[in-house]
Amino acid sequence: MTKGGRNLMILGLASVVFALLTTSISLVIYHNSGDIYLDWSRPGFLPEEEISDEEVEDEYEFSKTGAIDAEVIEEYLKNLEVEVRALDNYKDPFSAEALSDEKLGIVGEM
Amino acid sequence: MKKKGISLHYIILSLILQVFGISAPVMAISDAQKEVISTYCGAIHDNLRDLQRSDSRMMMDIGHHYEVILANFITPLNLRLVENNLPDTDLINNQNIFSQTRIDFVASYVDYQKSLEELLAFDCKKEPEEFYEKLEGVREKRKIVADGTTKLGRLAKEQVKLVKVLEAKL
């Protein structure tokens, strides 16, 4: 093997090692920062049915600028109450019951 | 009768330990439960994985609503009120509390998910008692997440109430 060929091989190997190292560091940071638990694109954590673009409604956003009067506030309240009602529709989110002995199938006399 | 006595002693001991800032000991599980955990370890893991997935979906949905309420309603209203020289201290306070509570809620969710993952990595077949002990820890963390949703729901309703007060003043 020529000197140039050997150097090229060393460069290739070093590049692979460097890529593996940086990828590993990135994955450790991704995991330890907790981003992994908030990343909805993570395989296995997507909703069963993906929402099509047509189903996504335009979200109301209150403008940061402009005058303030009763009519503006009325419209604001109407839209805010829709969001609050949506929250109310979640019955007991993250309930303790989902992790109970019965739900997990751990039954037996204490 | 004996069972009730044991429970009462456990509660009193837990309260005393909590006063001194010490975590309550985990109530020992019965041999029957240990047997069930060891035998059905795989099924318990499957149930926990299903729960992890449904929690992720819940977090995605409910978390989006919190984000919308803060970014599309609470913050722009305060900015607009300031622009119109009508700053409202109660609304600004509510924004600060909502924002901080949301940050705490996300942090508690991450903490809960980490402990759930640790639980899933634990061999319940070999060490059912330790598994149950860890499960109790996960339950406590889940309760903190649930408390966060209660607080955020209450703060969203508080925003409606405060805006109605503002409307009456206009």
Mean pLDDT computed over A69-82: 96
Instruction: Tell me if residue A90 falls in helix, strand or coil.
Output: coil
User: Which residues in B lie closer than 8 A to residue A110 (C-beta atoms)?
Assistant: 3, 27, 29-30, 33
Residue A106 lies in a domain: no
User: Locate tokens 């309240």: which residue?
Assistant: A77
Complex ipTM: 0.78
Residue B132 lies in a domain: yes
Question: CA A101 → CA A8, A17, B47, B74, B109, distances in Å?
Answer: 60, 47, 11, 40, 21
Residue B6 lies in a domain: no
Q: Is B165 on the interface with A (CB under 8 A)?
A: no
Residue A108 lies in a domain: no
Number of structural domains (chain A) is 1
Composition of chain B by helix, strand, coil, percent to 5: 85, 0, 15
Residue B9 lies in a domain: no
Q: Is B72 on the interface with A (CB under 8 A)?
A: yes
For A108, which of B33, B48, B170 is closest by C-beta distance? B33
Residue B21: phi and psi, rounded to 5, are: 70, 25
Distance from CA of A88 to the nearest CA of B (A): 8
User: Locate tokens 């020289």: which residue?
Assistant: B85
User: Which residues in A lie closer than 8 A to residue B152 (C-beta atoms)?
Assistant: 87
CA–CA separation, A74 and A79 (whole Å): 9
Number of structural domains (chain B) is 1
Q: What is the pTM of this model?
A: 0.81
Residue B5 lies in a domain: no
* pLDDT score at B3: 44
* Segments forming the whole domain that contains residue B104: 35-169
pLDDT in single tens digits along all 170 residues of chain B: 444 444 455 445 455 545 454 444 555 778 888 889 999 999 999 999 999 989 998 999 999 999 999 999 999 999 999 999 999 999 999 999 999 999 999 999 999 999 999 999 999 999 999 999 999 999 999 999 999 999 999 999 999 999 999 999 88
Evaluate the CA torsion angle B132, B134, B136, B138 in order and state its sign: negative
Residue B71 lies in a domain: yes
Residue B24 lies in a domain: no
* Segments forming the whole domain that contains residue A64: 3-46+53-94
Please write the tens of the pLDDT for every residue from A5-32: 999 999 999 999 999 999 999 999 998 8
Residue A101 lies in a domain: no
